[in-house]
Chain A
Amino acid sequence: MGEARTVTMELSHHVELRVTLMTDMVTQRMTLPVRPHIVPRDRPVRSPDELAGHPAKISVSHLNFFYGEKRALADVSLEIPQHCVTALIGPSGCGKSTFLRCLNRMNDMIEDTRVEGDVLLDGNDILGPRVDVVELRKRVGMVFQKSNPFPKSVFENVAYGPRVAGIRQKAVLFEIVEKSLTRAALWDEVKDRLDDSALQLSGGQQQRLCIARALATNPDVLLMDEPASALDPASTSRIEDLIFELRDRYTIVIVTHNMQQAARVSDRTAFFYQGELIEAGSTNELFTNPTRKQTEDYITGRFG
């Protein structure tokens, strides 16, 4: 019971409300006023006005990216607002994952690549040669398409980030692990299995563990590369709930092939096609009233 309360307190305002609602439905005693805009989407989307109030966390301007001679990103400029979920959509090979990896410089690890343009995180350049990549990756966490827990215990998985950052005290580590797992909505399921191998968890749990692991370094930004594409619908829905809960604390950028998912979880959506950013805007706008023909064709399923 105590655990359940902690969870509720940790979660955002909207979720607290939803939990209460569900309880009420079960007991059928009273009705809370349901805000109308919750109904169609199940979660409130941020209106364009609201979005305008969020300063840009990351601003990308004139970004070009090359794999050898092949240009994968062509002159992409995009502002990513703070504490919002930005979805990147587009057909396979359109450059959305490449774009995502530019934001924490994971592309550095790929041989024979070149990047041009500016990426500013809180106004500071992150592409320059003198940028501390290790420090950058602590601030910009990443969750991969296929869950990739380390072949170690659940605890060690989450504690790894803080450990490599130099935290040694067991008590501090434990606190971080508990907080991160709680935020990733996994604590209740694994609190008695912290010493078990992470690879014994289910697929959905493993992916949430990877999210918890990314949260443990206390990042500002969370990059997610198709985080739910390998999961069953129930696990996908849990991940989506989680993304929604996390957006008040973190700036989230999510790559997805699933347009319904983009529509469900994001505040802003950017559509990529053949390395170019075709259109970006508030999710509602982009899905109901796209300005470009290619966007419309893609979201209506005519290609891609």
Chain B
Amino acid sequence: MAHVEPQTRHRRRALLSQTFALLCLAATALCVLILIVLLLEVLWQGLPRLNPRFLMGSMSRFPEKAGILPSLVSSLWLIGLTTLFSVPIGVGSALYLEEYAGPSRWRHLVQLNIANLAGVPSIVYGILGLGLFVRTFALQRSILAGALTLSLVVLPIVILAAQEALRAVPDSIRRASYALGATRWQTVWYQVLPAATPGIMTGVILAISRALGEAAPLVALGAATFITFVPVSPLDEFSALPVVIFDWSSRPQTDFHQVAAAGIVVLLTVLILLNATAVYVRYHYGKRIRW
């Protein structure tokens, strides 16, 4: 084969490089496009129904009277209690595994299991919750039982994220603390944990978002798709946003599909508010932590 001019080779390389960049751009554009279409579709269907009566109203078998307040409040109860249960236990476990437990086969086994648990389908947790919390602990189909079940779903996520955040704290910080005569407890509490807080927060928000969007375990648990009162205590019966959205969208009347779209808008709004809080908290803490 004849000698290829350096210029030609250069052009060919540049072309290849541009093509690849273009392909990546196309992939990104496709994702964004799908997202935009979905959002527009939901907004177009849901916005007309999104009025005070819908937000403050209760469930109804007539689409024009259907409201979302009971399930919205249920969902807020659920994620509040889930956070309360899963964060201390999750962060505690992560601290033990990262800062205290020595490298042993037992630790390795636990670690492997947590990673596996994060991948278990949530409906399995729902069935576990039904047997354990609803029946054995006799909590009935209460918010408490739902929150405990959701805590099981998100615990592996919280633990893994917190472990990741703790691992990202440089060892030099721990050494410096020990060298100043700090105990292990002081080192963890005053140095490692504050430095890992932004990372842990991210994991927690991710977990809460997951809990907010879960319908399957709650359905397995027997969450109501139709409640007409706003729950006021953790022992009340409950519903949840994804559960009623699922119910509405599976009804034959097309009017209910619009109601479901409005429900989705509410769910997304709550999600975005949660994430915004997370970003703010992260920023607020992160400002003081720069490696």
Contacts and interface: CB of A to CB of B under 8 A. Distances in A.
A174 interface: no
Interface string B177-201: 1111111001000110011000000
B288 A137 contact: no
Contacts of B177: 150, 160, 164
22 contacts: A104-B179, A134-B181, A135-B181, A136-B181, A137-B180, A144-B175, A148-B172, A148-B175, A148-B176, A150-B191, A151-B288, A151-B289, A151-B291, A152-B288, A153-B288, A164-B183, A164-B190, A165-B181, A213-B176, A214-B180, A217-B180, A217-B181
User: What band does the interface of chain B fall in when counting residues whose beta carbon is under 8 Å from A?
Assistant: 20 to 34
B176 A109 contact: no
A144 B173 CA distance: 11
Nearest to B172: A148
Given A109-B175, A111-B103, A151-B291, A161 B180 contact: yes
A146 B179 contact: no
A226 to B, nearest CB: 14
A96 interface: no
Instruction: Find the residue from B175, B181, B291 having the highest chain A CB count within 10 A.
Output: B181
Given A148-B170, A197-B290, A164 B181 contact: yes
Contacts of A153: 288
Given A146-B172, A148-B170, A164-B183, A106 B178 contact: yes
B100 to A, nearest CB: 13
Contacts of B182: 134, 160-161, 164
Contacts, number: 77
B102 interface: yes
Contacts of B179: 104, 106, 137, 141-142, 144, 214
Contacts of A150: 173, 176-177, 191, 195
A137 B195 contact: no
A141 B290 CA distance: 25
A205 to B, nearest CB: 15
B289 to A, nearest CB: 4
Nearest to A210: B176
User: What band does the interface of chain A fall in when counting residues whose beta carbon is under 8 Å from B?
Assistant: 20 to 34
A31 to B, nearest CB: 45
The 5 closest A-B CB pairs, nearest first, are: A138-B181, A148-B172, A142-B179, A161-B180, A151-B289
Given A148-B173, A210-B176, 4 more contacts: A109-B178, A144-B176, A150-B177, A197-B288
A135 B180 CA distance: 9
Contacts of A199: 290-291
A223 to B, nearest CB: 8
Interface of B: 102-103, 170, 172-173, 175-183, 186, 190-191, 194-195, 288-291
A161 B181 contact: yes
Interface string A147-165: 0111111000000110111
A121 to B, nearest CB: 14
A160 B194 CA distance: 14
B186 A164 contact: yes
Interface string A112-147: 000000000000000000000011111001101010
Contacts of A164: 177, 180-183, 186, 190
A287 B289 CA distance: 45
Nearest to B195: A151
Contact of A144 (B102, B172, B190): B172
Contacts of B176: 144, 148-150, 210, 213
Contacts of A197: 288, 290
Nearest to A199: B290
A106 B289 CA distance: 26
A103 B191 CA distance: 24
Given A151-B195, A152-B288, A197-B288, A137 B178 contact: yes
A214 B176 CA distance: 9
B175 A106 contact: yes
A106 B182 CA distance: 12
A153 B194 CA distance: 13
Contacts of A216: 180
A134 B288 contact: no
A142 B173 CA distance: 13
Contacts of B173: 148, 150-151
A214 B177 CA distance: 10
A173 to B, nearest CB: 14
Instruction: Find the residue from B172, B176, B179 having the highest chain A CB count within 10 A.
Output: B179
A300 to B, nearest CB: 35
A111 B171 CA distance: 14
Contacts of A144: 172, 175-176, 179
Interface in A204-238: 210, 213-214, 216-217
A137 B181 contact: yes
A151 B290 contact: yes
B171 to A, nearest CB: 9
A165 B180 CA distance: 9
